[in-house]
Amino acid sequence: RPHNSLVEQGRLDEGRQVLEKVRGTSNVDVELADLVEASEAARAIKHPFRNLLAQKNRPQLVIAALGIPGFQQLSGMNSILFYAPVIFQSLGFGDGASLYSSIITSTTLVLATLVSMAVVDKFGRRFLFLEGGTQMIISMLAVAIILALKFGKGALIPKTDGIILVVMVCLFVAAYGWSWGPLGWLLTSELFPLETRSAGQSVVVCINLLFTSLVAQCYLVSLCHLRYGIFLLFAALIVIMSLFI
């Protein structure tokens, strides 16, 4: 509920407007009063981490604090961004491949995030998660298939195949940018009740950084052993995380 943060900041009029937009009705007095009451109760909580482990909060702890940030990193986003310079080099960009790949992928990610901000309330979180997951799976499978067919032959990837790879990389980054990227953080904040939200988000950040470190440490070794199979592995993980949502 994005209006919760407005209530916490005392911006009740803006919170009411957002609540009316989300609910599609102006009859939100009762719910707004509940949010104000919950916000006041949250300020009175002295041991948020202890409350986070309470029975009633355990589903949010498992789903939001453990599942979502973990799957964010297991999606392969960092890995495919790491591989992007090699793809651009195969197109003849030479030593500037890293720069070109960074500009293109970063621009794609920013634009996709802006799209997510514009349409998330209209289409809903779940739709964007599932659409983004489907697009990411297709992109990963396409990358894996092309690399499986072309790598190991002692030559650069043909220009046509290289262009397809670049497009697949951009589609993957765009899908992540309007789904698991921003919504992974948004949804975790919405799942926790106000009285444990700060503690819950702290756990989310810790889990995210932990999985980031693990993926970074394991990726190169996995790539050497699995080669193109690493992208098939990520595609399988994305299937699991899409079902998880």
- Cα angle vertex 119, ends 30, 36, to 5°? 20
Give the number of other Cβ atoms within 10 Å of residue 110's Cβ: 11
Give the number of other Cβ atoms within 10 Å of residue 38's Cβ: 15
Average pLDDT of the chain is 83
Q: Which of 65, 72, 35, 1 is nearest to 199 (CA)?
A: 65
pLDDT of residue 223: 76
In this structure, what DSSP letter does residue 92 have?
A: T
Fold of 55-244: Growth Hormone; Chain: A; (1.20.1250)
Q: Is the pLDDT of residue 55 over 70?
A: no
Q: Which of 214, 213, 190 is nearest to 60 (CA)?
A: 190
Domain extent listing, the chain: 3-44, 55-244
Average pLDDT over residues 227-234: 88
Q: What is the pTM of this model?
A: 0.78
Average pLDDT over residues 39-63: 72
Average pLDDT over residues 176-192: 89
